[in-house]
Structures are given as structure tokens and as C-alpha cells.
A and B are shown apart, each in its own frame.
Chain A
């Protein structure tokens, strides 16, 4: 649940207090509230940490704490009449919010809990087609490929008539219909909307893919410019000058009351007037002014980005003159940030101070990410775990909740038999020879054949796992699938 739809009458409502990625879906007009769509993914681990919970844990009490935290934030920022719905994609969040507004409900609701889940399932066709019309206008504005607004409107009318004729009361009643049938009858755009409505949980990777996001950018950017007295080429010389500029940037940020920075852009201009844009990204929202004057984290990330960008630029250049590629000037600007207004500081000050973000600070200083995993209680090896950053889908969470302690112990025993290291994708290998001496049977598993939709492929969904000794006497985890093909999947290292 990373997408938040917020409707607020407050003219000074600033979504940047919650995330740097947001869009104005519908401006305020007369009695109509402004509607904002917020993408919380880049700051999700940060807010989890500020709420005093770990993003690894999907326990109910942790969710409750996070929801309570967001509820207070929305109330503080959006005012009394604010309506906010959190869901797996922006489309469902908008639908949930429309249902709430139609019923005169206020406050924050997440689709993680039953009330939130029911919101979308109770949405009428009127709401669905009205929102579909709004999305279509945005698609038209964004220039979606092979999209014609008039054709879409015709298809929508045709679909509305079809649903009325079939007696289908609500959009969620269409879940049984095959995706291709929708696409064939009503076109790709309505197919996308239907997929977001009915199968969002099964297709988490969809997220906001294809959604007409137009990110909101503040008019006044935080930016500093530097004209160098002497052209610079080496990082050792650039570093101290850049440090001064980051410091100047901090002064500007302090004036605006900006809390944390997620990314900077460093626009370098060479002596031949060619320009190179170097993005400087932080994995977690970074408190730039707090590191004044040394700015170790920012300069480390700048150094990594500079080396990557320069080596790529050098690789691309056929005739690379050293002098021409010395840097003459640059601009440094903040591209993604979250502002923490006094109301947020007052509200969450105690929690924010309590958060131990040393690990996040350290991760911000590294050129490569550190990975944390959680297990998902799934017997298929490839799906038995997920990255914590990707955050478990609600379907995974529902699956986990439904599994008791006994099942958990069973998965634990399964894990004990399996190797510590696996190949990301099983590698095909020839059938082992002299099997009787070198193999030990471990387990038989079945793939989730019902997901592929064809039970006829059952033969290839069965796997028999063995521990084998290879020619170098290494213990290898191999399996034979239902068609008799052999694969190496892991190593007992």
C-alpha cells in the first residue's frame, strides 16, 4: 500500500511534507476539494522508521501504528475535512476516496484493513466510469501511445451498456472475466483500468505502471550556481569547492524549512560548453544541513555519481580532449525533498527524535545497496523470500496471516534442508551419471499450476530435489522437473 489519494480544502496543503513524488489530480474549484495523489514508495522505510516500526515486520500492531501515524499526519496537514485513502495503486486509491466522499465520510482509511478493502468493492459503475473519464483526459494530456480520447469514450459507453445488459451491478463483480476478453471488446485502456480494479493484488508489479503520473514541481527551486576561477578535472580538486556549494544549498534549505533531501542534480558544464547532468541520489531521506560543514554523505554520493558519469561520458566520446573536458561551471539543485512544517515537527517530534537512523545514514554513504530479506512462507524456493525494500504485498501478508505456527514450523524444517546459497535462476544441467552413489533425495514440490491457468502443464510444475556430488565433490542442490530435465539450483557451500 504505497499510494495515497488525499482530498483537502486547505489551500496551504503541501503533499511535499509526506513525499517528494506527488501529483495534483484535480485542482480545487468552488466547493470541490483539491485532490492529490501521493506515491509513498521512496519514503516508505523512512516513515516506517519515524513511526517506530520496522518495514520488515508485517504484524498487525505495526500496521496499526503506521496507520495511526499517517492518520495524524493527514489530519494535521489536510485539516478537519480531509479525506485520504491508501491502496496498492493510485486508481484504487482514487476509487476508495470517491466512495468515501459520496458517503460523506472523512479521515484516513487504508486498504490494509477490512473497511478500506470494502470501499473499492462497493464502488458503483457511476464512480468507475467518471474516474475512467478523468484518467482518460490525463492519458490524453500525457500522450499515451495509440490512445484516442473519442475512441475511448465510445468504448466506455459500449462497456457501460454491456454491463447494464448483463446485469453486473459493480465493477468488482467483473473479476471472473478474462483479461484478454476485456481488451478485445473494449480496448487496452479500459483493460488497464479493469486490471487495476480487479486484480491489483495479484499483479503488484503493475503498481502505477501506465498510470498518467505528472509529477508536481515547485515553482521555486533550491539551486546554487558556481563559476570556477580555474577549470577543474580531478575529484580531489572538485570536492572542496563542491562542499562549499552544498553548504550554500543548506542555507537555502534552512530558509525554506526543508526537512530531508532525497536527490540532488549536479549540472556540470565543461569548457567546450557541453553539459553533463549527474544525479546524486540518497537511498533514504537525508538530513543535509545536519552534516554541515563536512557533508560526508553528500560528497561520497557525489563522488560515486561523478566517477560513473565521467567514465560513461569518456567511453562515449570518440575524440576526448582533456582540456575541453575540464569543468568550467556547474549548477547544484535539489530535485526531491520533503519539507517538515512546524505542525509535523510538533506532532511527531518525540517519535522522530527517538528513531535510530544510523543504519539509514550508513546506507546513504554506500555506492551499492545493503539488502534485507524476509521470508514469505512459500514452499517454492524462488518465492520463499522477498526483499524488504520491495515490501510484502497484501496478498503475501494475507497468506502469512492465514498460516499458523504449525505451518511456519513446517517451512522452517524445509529451510533447514535447503542450501544457504542458490542461483537466481536454476541452471540447466545434463542428467547426472552414476546416480545411485552420489545422490540423496531431499524433497518433492509442486509449482502453483493454477496461476498459469493451464493445468495441462502440470508435468513441468513438479520438482524432485536431490543433493548431488559433482565432479569436484561439491554438494550441489539439483532438481528434476516433471519433463525429466535437470537443473542446478544451489550449492551447499
Chain B
């Protein structure tokens, strides 16, 4: 087992290589012990993303509306809030507001999450990215993130040792890359989520594992 303190140093070679999409044997470590990773609590999902979302990195998720796939993001948020970490959810969905009872019922501790509605998250919320207060920041459906804004998010996530999840309301394409996101995953609904058929996860970048058929999450 790799000592925990070795993972916490930003110079860790596995982390640096992984940022460029290079996998190393470090992914075999005991992730439950690692405080620098955000886990979903679903073993298959955590294994698929090679041991959780890493502090200091950005991940991009293709989650079109009406697929129920934000429940996947919520599994990470729920675990983070129950560990008493502060989480920020930036909602950019047109006309829609969060419905907190549903979040609470899915395991999110509302005391440790803050919500904000912003179409231009970086412009409006810059001070948030300059401090490591929120350990997990979820930017849901941003209207348009420029290259400079992506670079800013990635740089600040690395400097502040926080994780930033960017949820896109469209499927990600491998053809048009995003060098700033360490992990890029598309989440497709397998059938009818109301009937509990789950999702199909396909990595565009950051993990070379086979696509995952994820059953409904038990939250």
C-alpha cells in the first residue's frame, strides 16, 4: 500500500501523469483511506473512475436533461456532505430550481451544501475559486465556458486542492477535446430511469476502463 502522505503531495508523480491521461499502478491503492478523493459509495462507479474524484482536478460529465443522471453527481455530493465537507452547487439550468427535499432524501446533508444560480459562474463566483472553503464545486449546465475560464478553473482547483465537477447538458465528444478536464465521462440512460434501469457510463478521457452499466444508485 502506498503511504497516504505520498498521495497528498502535489508532486506525486502518479497524480501528475494522470492529469495527462497516463495511468499508473497508483490506482490500485486503498481508496477508502484516501482523504484526497471523493467517493460515490458505489463500488462499481468508484472503480470505473479509478478510485474516486481527485482533489485538485476537474472532471467533465455529459448529462443531458431529463435522463436523471445528476443522481450520479449527487452520490459524490452526498458522501462529501456527510463527511462535513462544504459543497457548492452552481445551477445554470434554465428556469429550474433545486428541490431540497429530494436532495435530502438522496443522502445530501443540507447543512453542508450551498446553492447558487449563475449562468456565468466564473465571472460571478470568482472569489469562491480563490479559497479552498468549498472542497467540491459542481458547475451544472454552464452556458459557455471559454478556454481561459477552463484554464482558470483547472489552475485554481489544483492550487486549492478542491475538485470541480462540470456537468454539461450535452454528450461530450472525443473529437473536440478538453485538455483541462482530467476525467470526461458521458452518462446515458439505459432505459426508463423511472422504472429503475440505470445508466450507461462511457469514458471519453481519463480512464481506459470498459463502459459501465450502472444500476440505479442506492442512496
Contacts and interface: CB of A to CB of B under 8 A. Distances in A.
A493 B99 contact: no
B20 interface: no
Given A370-B114, A440-B194, A473 B101 contact: no
B99 A370 contact: no
Given A366-B125, A370-B116, A493-B93, A420 B67 contact: no
Contacts of B145: none
Contact of A492 (B100, B104, B194): B194
Contacts, number: 139
- The binding surface of chain B is classed by DSSP as mixed
Nearest to B68: A492
A418 B101 contact: yes
Contact of A474 (B65, B95, B97, B105): B65
Contacts of B71: 420
Contacts of B18: none
Interface in B148-174: none
B122 interface: no
Interface residues of A, number: 47
A337 to B, nearest CB: 23
A385 interface: yes
A236 B193 CA distance: 52
B14 interface: no
Contact of B96 (A56, A411, A416, A491): A491
Interface in B78-100: 86, 88, 91, 93, 95-100
A493 B67 contact: yes
Interface residues of B, number: 43
B124 A474 contact: no
Nearest to A438: B192
A493 B68 contact: yes
A151 B88 CA distance: 56
B127 A362 contact: yes
A304 to B, nearest CB: 9
Contacts of B193: 475, 492
A359 B124 CA distance: 16
Given A474-B66, A491-B66, A493-B68, A423 B97 contact: yes
Contacts of B133: 358-359, 362
A365 interface: yes
Nearest to A472: B66
Interface in B112-126: 113-118, 124-125
B65 A420 contact: no
A424 interface: yes
A373 B115 contact: yes
B111 A54 contact: yes
A493 B66 contact: yes
B32 interface: no
B30 interface: no
A61 to B, nearest CB: 16
Contacts of B70: 420-421, 493
28 contacts: A358-B133, A362-B127, A362-B131, A366-B128, A367-B124, A369-B116, A370-B88, A371-B114, A384-B100, A384-B101, A385-B99, A412-B104, A413-B105, A414-B105, A415-B104, A416-B106, A418-B101, A421-B98, A421-B99, A422-B96, A423-B97, A469-B192, A475-B68, A490-B96, A492-B194, A493-B65, A493-B66, A493-B68
Given A371-B115, A385-B99, A421-B93, 5 more contacts: A300-B127, A359-B86, A370-B116, A421-B99, A440-B192
